[in-house]
Amino acid sequence: MAQENWRLEGEWIKNCSCAYGCPCDFNANPTKGYCKGFLGMRITKGNFEQTKLDGLSFFVVVHFPGALHEGNGEAQPIIEKNATQEQRNALFEIISGKHSAEGTLFHIFSMIVTKMHDPIFASVEFEFDQDARNARLVIPGALESTVEPIKNPVTGAPHRIRVVMPEGFEHREGEVASANIRSSGAIQFDTQGSHSTLAHVVQTPEGVAA
């Protein structure tokens, strides 16, 4: 059970190297046999015990050599540099999974990642429009990504797909889009036209609340 009280509400993004639809959401193997990507959020309202986290952004770049449930993953956290030491410690505590119930996102993450790279503290530019399926993330020297709607291959018109996961541990409902990613930290990779999910989430020690 959770040991501390925390809550994260905000704009959630998950971009990865797989084809549109993120096979992980369907308990399927990664498109290319491995997964490289990142996830994270801008916290519109959040806390860890008495430490306020409103307005901060954090992301985690990952690499899994096979399906996520097989483990052996590596990860590198990125936290907005204007976070105080207290706020940084609070986010590390949440990401660690020590304060999350069994089977929830951060608990699972702690079980499948075997190598944690040193964190990056950097400036973050983050634009997010879930309904329009548009996003832009710039973290100098670490991570850049753009998101746009999937396009119809014949007409070029925007194509809309929404994934609903009533028992999802990451989000309940998300817009699927197309991502370009350039990761230049400890885990380096580039993608063009790969998967993106944009969602509004509320994460708690007991899992997704909304």
pLDDT in tens, 39-72: 999 999 999 999 999 999 999 999 999 999 999 9
Q: How far apart are CA 138 and CA 127, in angstroms?
A: 9
Question: What is the C-alpha to C-alpha distance for residues 7 and 20, in angstroms, rounded to an integer?
Answer: 29
pLDDT digits (tens, 9 = 90+) for 139-191: 999 999 999 999 999 999 999 999 999 999 999 999 999 999 999 999 999 99
User: How far is Cα 41 from Cα 43, in angstroms, rounded to an integer?
Assistant: 6
